[in-house]
Structure 1
Amino acid sequence: MGDENGREDDHSEKPEGDRTEPGTDAGESTVGDLSLDRFHDALEAEERPVATASEVARRLGTTQAAARDALATLVERGSVERLDVESDPVVFYPSEWGRLASRERVVTFPKRREIVVDRPTQYTRAQLSQFARLVDTTGTDPGTRGYLYRIRPEDVWAAPFDDADALIGSLRSVLPRRFAELEEWVRDQWRRANRFRLYTHEDDYVVLEAASESLLGNVAEQHLADDHLRAPISETEAWVNEAAVAAVKRALYDAGYPVQDDRDLDTGDPVDIDLTTDLREYQETWVETFLESRSGVYVGPPGSGKTVAAIATIAAVGGETLILVPSRELAGQWREELLAHSTVDPADIGEYHGGQKEIRPITIATYQIAGMDRHRGLFDSRRWGLICFDEAHHITAPVYSRAAELQAKHRLGLSATPVRETGSEEEIYTLIGQPIGADWDALFEAGFVQEPEVEIRYVPWRDELARNEYASADGRERRRLAAENPAKVEEVRYLLAAHRGKKALVFIEYLDHGEALADALDAPFVSGETPHHERAELFRRFHEEGTEVDVLVVSRVGDEGIDLPNAELAVVASGLGGSRRQGSQRAGRTMRPEGTALVYVLATRGSSEEEFAQRQMRHLARKGVRVRETNVAE
């Protein structure tokens, strides 16, 4: 029997001693030796991650005094923490979700659409990754962690199922019981994802079709601008201004109605290219998923092979291709990757940027050049079958947004982490396509990419003059002084010595700091001012075994847009005011198919760097990366 919230009776999972009826003497004696399982039952019934002693007593059918004593015992054991808060006298919560039980346990908070899983099996994580977002992890070792998932509207919209019943079936397969309210919300979101679609009319113009007359009349007319639609065709269809397709999709997405894009997309003039590299199983799945929907964003950590999967996609589409990149350095590296992994004729590859301007069957251009009016005609004159947006998070930046207007093509995005601090990752998926890819955590566990070990090291002020200068400064100057804390030089030396023989990248934010650190370490410094040929030579020597270049000090130029050789060790000495995505990029520089991967983040103790470091590393923790913290001795 289920209760009014759709919960089914769960007594069958409990041992014989826990089957006491609520409110009996035996029940009170059982609570006296409160188990973590029963405390977790109380939290689940409360649908909160914390509970007061009175709430635990009510849920377990005992007195408040008995519950308080039992919780105190759990606190003494270190299994439960207690916290004084303003709204409640004292609340209790598990010390660590990852150690709550020896078996997998799933706790659902349906009103918040959150799911906490202790010791999840690979099956559970695989199912959840299809319709929920991994928000956070706790614990240190794989297999003992707690995982927090949240189901968002866009997760339901992008779920890879044929219908809502299949999605609900996957949801039920991992939850301990049915939650009618949650299921109805999921069904409603699924219906929203199939209410509008774009298709190509037989007379070759674009039509917006709504599932009902009221949708077209109310939702579309309320949220679309006057120039988005040319004229009505029927009660449920309207002729779309083709130049406004991107704006229509964006506006309806913001209104909570993602548009199904069924237009006849250009395939482009044929190009002769075949893949010469074997794909991993998950890469094959990425490509197959893309070909079915004809748009999408490959999301995966550095080292997961997004570029190779993109080359396989180019070969599968078989049409002329425009590849957009954030820098000319990355354009050159794309040329090298194409030649290394495919049969393409070198003469069929062109680069279009500040250094050279060639339009070829496969053209690699920078976002900025492609968006300029004086170059736009050249790109529009070619019949591209595929547009590939590398570092796809750039697409929402104003300077690059013109590239998003290329909606009539197959659209492929690549990104290790599409997060922007503006929270506009949904816009990336609207303009390019839905996310395609495995959770970072799944790739770590499968062994395709080694999980980096990340440690935040809080470095004290050891120089009294520097400490006083920081105390008297404010704003941007204070941030710079914290970044350039002289004690970090000694700490970087210590870390390099502790990992002697490992190839190391040291990241900095300020050029003066980089030059000083490079001098102290007797290591090369690579910045945006380093000539392209010199930079390429340093990276080549760093990459080769047995060379004298084992350490590189790198400015923000190393965060993206160039293919830094993967290192065994990364030290983020400064630059903690950057974005969550930047933290992921830097951690990603150590990811490799085999071997250890170490990332140290140095933050000046007592400064804003502490908060910045924790924010960036929380983003990594949500992807399944272990993060620990250490206070460096005075």
Structure 2
Amino acid sequence: MTDDEFSASADDPGAADETHDADAGEQLDGDGAAQDATEPQDADTTAASSGEDADDGAASPDGEDADAEASSAEPSVALDEFHDALEDAGRPVVTASEVGRSLDHSQAEAVDALDGLVEADDVRRVDVETDPVVWYPAEWGELADRERVVPFPKRREIVVDKPTQFTRAQLSQFAHLADVSGNEAYRYEIRKEDIWQAPYDSFDRLLKTVRQVLPERLDGLEEWIEDQWDRARQFRLFTHEDGYTVLEARSAELMGNVARQKLDESQLRAPISDTESWVAEGSEAAIKRRLYEAGYPVQDQRDLDEGDPLDISLRMNLRGYQSDWVTRFVDAGSGVLVGPPGSGKTVAAMGVMEAVGGETLILVPTRELASQWRDTLLAHTDLDPDQIGEYHGGEKTVRPVTIATYQTAGMDRHRQLFDQRRWGLIVYDEVHHVPADVHRRSADLQASARLGLSATPIREDDREKEIYTLIGPPIGTDWDALFEAGYVQEPEVEIRYVPWDEETYQDEYATAERHEKRQLAAANPQKIEEVREILADHPGSKALIFADYIDQGDALAEALTLPFISGEMPHARRERLFSQFRRDERDALIVSRVGDEGIDLPDADLAILASGLGGSRRQGSQRAGRTMRPSGKARVFALATRGTTEEEFARRQLQHLQSKGVRVREVDSELDDGV
């Protein structure tokens, strides 16, 4: 219930309950007909209704006492004031003492005032055995099936009960999903880094989104958001006309008290003015990291080398939002395309290659993804095969367009080859790998433009902020808009709690050590029957069944007569099975972690997460993302053993999807315990 809604019911006569029409400006005449109390009435009616003598209009002998009693009546509480007290308490119910403290009334005065609101049917009271009487707004019960957005601006938190998909998608643009209670209550936090990284070109656009979500304007919160927006624009790197790099601050105080205090001589060579400093060559990335840690993101506006030219034409039309991505990237010169799986980030990246028109280095996490990039470039651009090279453990060829793995590009013995090339563009696919210590050196490779790609730029070590520091700001489109347009299928996600297969198995779990507990819960044999039931309920679907443990994968493969693809399988056989799946020659595969990343399975419409719930939020989103293609339906089932840590792991792993507006249901398996 918003402040405006509370105020409306308290101040607007038309909003009052029909049973209280007499209090809202109507009275009943002698025949029971409604009469407007605001219209003039004859003397008899007025006298009768006011308790005065109809003959002479003299006041009742008790009139003075009544007036005196009214003047000494206890303070009243308006409904909007009661809502203010709820916000001060930070919970949906309050005691009379809490209302009294909030409104500067005594406890007794607050009780009387609250009882008045109860009589007006605006507030409900509940006697709690272990606590005093508590009060809550009546409308909360009446609106139980409707979305409610309750902001707590002092804590910069937003609690949303039964949020719509639109609200969840909008909140994901500027807030962090901190907690989900069951299927209904979502708690968001607005952190400074959420504002720094908000994917907007102007503060006005960001503010418009904030106001679309919140039920009212909150001046203090909006001022804080604007302060953080400005804070991310206090420093910039630019290229001096003589060719060296300059760090510029918006004020002399920032340069002296922040930059020159946080950075040393190995990063800043000498001052140029009160607001400008000469940057040591090659220290740009370190400067951006240090100032970010100090609370000041740096705008990178350097004019980097154009790189060697390369004419490339795309043989397909971009969707509207993909063209917008390309335009925004070209204007910025760097950035990270953030969009749901299936939204065509690879195609947009090829559009960027066409717009930049320079030799391109593409960095990927796996050899499989390198091969897919090569095939995609040959299929959708006019590049010749001899213009595309691959550089990894299986092949080492540098060409105008080179596809290399992060690990190889970061090695000293190979890095010199990449440094010698004048790249116009570097593409960082699955960009969340960049902050890892073994991969981050690839971020120091020089190019005129840097483009990151990721559906899930999140890391369990909370280093995702370094992605934007090292590569560039996020560029993306609301998931909700892509769902609505039909470009991406919104998945139906369900956490299904599966019982143990037998009592002895549960006893084994109770006495196991920590890692053994996870493995036993993951490999619960009852999950085999659950997978069988799900496949039977969805005939004709193309299904991927994810299993993290070899023993479980083998057991599923034997029970379901399906191939299990793991790292132990020879590369050639893996590719053959994936190819058969793409060509509809197979409709189900069991896949280990090799299918989490770098494998293109565009036709999957059913994903079953049989194990691996102890993994990251990114892993959960990637596995679910295998189904999020435009055609067909997208269904995701996460199987968690009841009464184990898998329950919480499942909720946490799918949290990123929830933060993007995808609803996650939680249900119990229909299988009986002990079967």
**TM-score normalised to structure 2 length:** 0.80
Contact 2:458 2:618 (8 Å CA) reproduced? yes
Q: 1:571 to 1:282 in 2, by over 3 A?
A: same
Alignment-derived partner of residue 16 in structure 1: 13
1:307 aligns with 2:357: no
**Aligned positions of 1:278-317 closer than 5 A:** 278-317=317-356
Contact 2:4 2:215 (8 Å CA) reproduced? no
Alignment-derived partner of residue 627 in structure 2: 590
Alignment-derived partner of residue 375 in structure 1: 414
Q: 1:52 aligns with which of 94, 98, 105?
A: 94
Give ranges in structure 2 of 5+ residues lacking alignment: 25-78, 104-109
How far is the alpha carbon of 1:238 from its aligned partner? 1.4
Q: 1:96 to 1:150 in 2, by over 3 A?
A: farther
Q: 1:421 to 1:203 in 2, by over 3 A?
A: same
RMSD across aligned C-alpha pairs, in angstroms? 3.7
Alignment-derived partner of residue 555 in structure 2: 516
Q: 1:238 aligns with which of 265, 277, 300?
A: 277
**Aligned positions of 1:183-222 closer than 5 A:** 183-222=222-261
Q: 1:19 to 1:491 in 2, by over 3 A?
A: closer
Alignment-derived partner of residue 661 in structure 2: 624
1:409 aligns with 2:452: no
Contact 1:137 1:622 (8 Å CA) reproduced? no
Alignment-derived partner of residue 552 in structure 1: 589
Aligned length: 603
Alignment-derived partner of residue 113 in structure 2: 63
Q: 1:359 aligns with which of 377, 398, 417?
A: 398
SS in 2 for 1:365: strand
Q: Relative to structure 2, which stretch is displaced further, 437-446 or 279-288? A: 437-446
Letter in 2 for 1:50: P
Q: 2:540 aligns with which of 501, 506, 529?
A: 501
How far is the alpha carbon of 1:375 from its aligned partner? 0.1
Alignment-derived partner of residue 223 in structure 1: 262
1:322 aligns with 2:361: yes
Q: Relative to structure 2, which stretch is displaced further, 189-198 or 553-562? A: 189-198
Alignment-derived partner of residue 111 in structure 1: 154
Rounded Cα–Cα distance in structure 2 between residues aligned with 1:602 and 1:39:
46
Rounded Cα–Cα distance in structure 1 between residues aligned with 2:175 and 2:270:
39
Rounded Cα–Cα distance in structure 2 between residues aligned with 1:97 and 1:252:
49
Rounded Cα–Cα distance in structure 1 between residues aligned with 2:572 and 2:122:
66
How far is the alpha carbon of 1:95 from its aligned partner? 11
* Residue deviations 1:432-472 (CA, integer Å, cap 9, x gap): 11111123233223321111111111111123332222222
If you compute each CA radius of gyration, which structure gives the higher value, 1 or 2? 2
Rounded Cα–Cα distance in structure 2 between residues aligned with 1:127 and 1:98:
26
Letter in 2 for 1:461: W
Rounded Cα–Cα distance in structure 1 between residues aligned with 2:382 and 2:441:
32
Q: Relative to structure 2, which stretch is displaced further, 371-380 or 611-620? A: 611-620
**Aligned positions of 1:74-153 closer than 5 A:** 107-115=150-158, 131-132=174-175, 150-153=189-192
Q: Relative to structure 2, which stretch is displaced further, 66-75 or 449-458? A: 66-75
Letter in 2 for 1:259: V
Contact 2:238 2:246 (8 Å CA) reproduced? yes
1:609 aligns with 2:659: no
Letter in 1 for 2:92: V
Give ranges in structure 1 of 5+ residues lacking alignment: 1-5, 28-36, 77-81
1:599 aligns with 2:608: no
1:564 aligns with 2:601: yes
Q: 1:483 to 1:156 in 2, by over 3 A?
A: closer
Rounded Cα–Cα distance in structure 2 between residues aligned with 1:215 and 1:97:
52
Rounded Cα–Cα distance in structure 2 between residues aligned with 1:621 and 1:512:
31
Rounded Cα–Cα distance in structure 2 between residues aligned with 1:374 and 1:586:
35
Q: 1:112 to 1:408 in 2, by over 3 A?
A: farther
Contact 2:247 2:276 (8 Å CA) reproduced? yes
Q: 1:98 to 1:69 in 2, by over 3 A?
A: closer
Q: 1:466 aligns with which of 500, 505, 510?
A: 505
How far is the alpha carbon of 1:320 from its aligned partner? 0.5
How far is the alpha carbon of 1:235 from its aligned partner? 2.1
Contact 1:489 1:520 (8 Å CA) reproduced? yes
Q: 1:539 aligns with which of 578, 584, 588?
A: 578
**TM-score normalised to structure 1 length:** 0.85
Letter in 2 for 1:204: G
Contact 2:423 2:447 (8 Å CA) reproduced? no
SS in 2 for 1:63: helix
Letter in 1 for 2:152: F
Q: Relative to structure 2, which stretch is displaced further, 316-325 or 153-162? A: 153-162
How far is the alpha carbon of 1:622 from its aligned partner? 1.6
Letter in 2 for 1:52: V
Contact 1:198 1:208 (8 Å CA) reproduced? yes
